[in-house]
Amino acid sequence: MPRMARMTDAAQHLRDLARLRRVRDRIDREYAQPLDVEALARDAGMSAGHLSRQFKLAYGESPYSYLMTRRIERAMALLRCGDLGVTEVCFEVGCSSLGTFSTRFTELVGVPPSVYRREAALATEGMPPCVAKQVSRPIRNREAPAT
């Protein structure tokens, strides 16, 4: 491959990484808003398929999966506080279906949100919120250490 073509490919790759970072930052900021891959891709100047493939290569999961993980992490924090019920938390973090929320929560955390709400308050009692967030962060099956 000619040197100029390699430089052009490298420059394009860096531009794509910058766009992917902006998409990830937007998901982090606007997780509670109605976000979909089509809109994220359009705003990034990419097709939805290209965004999904490149995002997964860069971050290890699809944009939708990343969004749901952020929502579940925030839901965990809200449930630990104990001020809101599961349904209220579901809508507060941007989910529109209690069933989907509960299913994804259970997949990521290992227990349903109602059980987590009861048990998490006891498990993290007395911990600063920043520590509680770190020790209770959901671990996907693919991230779990081998036993």
Per-domain residue ranges of the chain = 3-60, 68-137
Task: Give the range among 46-60, 64-78, 107-121 with minimum mean pLDDT.
Answer: 107-121
Mean pLDDT over each residue of the chain, to the nearest integer: 85
Rounded Cα gap, residues 67 and 9, in angstroms: 29
Predicted pLDDT at 135: 61
Report the pLDDT value the prediction gives residue 8, as an integer from 0 to 100.
78
Question: Looking at residue 107, what is its pLDDT?
Answer: 93
Q: Is the pLDDT of residue 105 over 80?
A: yes
Token pair recorded at residue 106: 């259970």
Its pTM stands at 0.77
Domain 68-137 has CATH 1.10.490: no
DSSP one-letter string for 68-80? HHHHHHHHHHHHH
Contact call for residues 84 and 77 (beta carbons, < 8 A): no
Q: What are phi and psi of 93, to 5 degrees?
A: -90, 5
